[in-house]
């Protein structure tokens, strides 16, 4: 048995950026590792330029995500006014950008997930993790900065309702987390639903039929540095994907590839996954 932290992510819109080329800004269909780590960092009050603390946070925790409702993809047309040539002038605020320069208009099309609901599961990879799971849960309840689901235009529509408990596997922790029934009942569900899990973690099937019979992973997943390797592994394991969402440097927005094991789990009776809103689910914000 080990301790796991679970919490829910729901909002009318969510967006988890992937590789973007030109004016098209796609979203992943599940929360990415970089988005979850960013969410934790905002809750803890870690700034984007604190690269060492962010790297420590990333390495310290394993992650799995359950898709309760996949939602639908929305493609939105954006026009953005960016500051024009500034010369040697310093611009301190948005007002300066608009009044002291000739703004340029940038066009883009951005994808969002509508009415998607996910459950995130985290666990400590070692005793040297910078924060306990209880401290992470408390930070999610009383975040230092405002939380959003991938983009600032995507606030959560439900409390994250973090819970810490002891379970045999990440799958068991996800199965034990009860989602909020009044919202869940209105959403489009998938059956089977997906679980994305860090592939470098020990996987116990724990009675999940689609997880049984998978062969062992290679000893060194760091060797998987191109899509050809991924294809070979996917053929061997029957459920692998490579996601470019492992943060290397936030300032330069550099990301490495991460092997992810994909499980397909048959949906059990809906009543087993529903719950009333937890009594301590209210979110409050601490002073900066």
Q: Give 140-170 pLDDT, tens digit per residue.
A: 999 999 999 999 899 999 999 999 999 999 9
Report the relative pairing of strands 24-25 and 104-124 from DSSP bridges. parallel
Residue labelled with tokens 């099309």: 109
Domains in the chain: ranges and CATH: 2-77+114-202+235-265 (3.30.70.2660)
Q: Is pLDDT above 60 for 276?
A: no
Closest residue by Cα to residue 40 from 121, 180, 140: 140
Q: Residues 42, 143: contact at Cβ < 8 Å?
A: yes
Q: 222 versus 73: which is more confidently predicted?
A: 73
| Cα–Cα distance for residue pair 166/114, rounded to 1 Å | 32
Phi, psi of 189 (to 5 degrees): -100, 155
User: Once rounded to an integer, what is the mean pLDDT over residues 62-68?
Assistant: 93
Least confident of 23-32, 175-184, 256-265, 271-280: 271-280
How many other C-beta atoms lie within 10 A of the C-beta of residue 151? 17
Which of 88-97, 132-141, 273-282 is the most confident on average?
132-141
Which pLDDT band, with edges at 50, 70 and 90, does 222 fall under? very low
Amino acid 229: pLDDT: 43
Q: Residues 68, 179: contact at Cβ < 8 Å?
A: yes
What residues are paired with 165 via a beta bridge? 4
Q: What is the pTM of this model?
A: 0.77
| Cα–Cα distance for residue pair 246/230, rounded to 1 Å | 16
**Token pair listed for 35:** 């988005």
């Amino acid at each position: 048995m080990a301790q796991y932290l679970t919490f829910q992510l729901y909002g009318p819109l969510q967006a988890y950026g992937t590789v973007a080329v030109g004016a098209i800004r796609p979203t992943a269909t599940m929360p990415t590792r970089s988005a979850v780590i960013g969410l934790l960092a905002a809750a803890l009050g870690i700034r984007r330029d604190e690269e060492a603390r962010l790297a420590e946070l990333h390495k310290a925790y394993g992650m799995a995500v359950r898709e309760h409702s996949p939602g639908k993809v929305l493609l939105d047309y954006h026009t953005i006014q960016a500051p024009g040539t500034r010369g040697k002038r310093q611009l301190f605020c948005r007002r300066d950008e608009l009044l002291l320069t000739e703004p340029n208009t940038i066009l883009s099309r951005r994808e969002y997930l509508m009415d998607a609901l996910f459950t995130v599961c985290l666990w400590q990879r070692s005793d040297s993790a910078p924060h306990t799971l209880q401290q992470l849960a408390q930070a999610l309840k009383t975040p230092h900065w405002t939380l959003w689901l991938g983009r600032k235009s995507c606030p959560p529509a439900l409390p994250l309702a973090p819970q810490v408990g002891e379970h045999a596997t990440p799958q068991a922790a996800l199965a034990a987390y009860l989602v909020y029934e009044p919202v869940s009942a209105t959403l489009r569900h998938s059956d089977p639903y997906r679980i994305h899990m860090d592939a470098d973690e020990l996987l116990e099937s724990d009675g999940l039929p689609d997880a049984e019979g998978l062969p062992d992973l290679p000893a060194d997943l760091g060797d998987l540095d191109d899509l050809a390797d991924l294809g070979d592994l996917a053929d061997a394991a029957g459920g692998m994907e490579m996601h470019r969402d492992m943060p290397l440097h936030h300032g330069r927005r550099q990301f490495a590839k991460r092997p992810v094991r994909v499980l397909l789990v048959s949906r059990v009776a809906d009543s087993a996954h529903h719950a009333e809103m937890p009594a301590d689910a209210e979110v409050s914000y601490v002073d900066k």
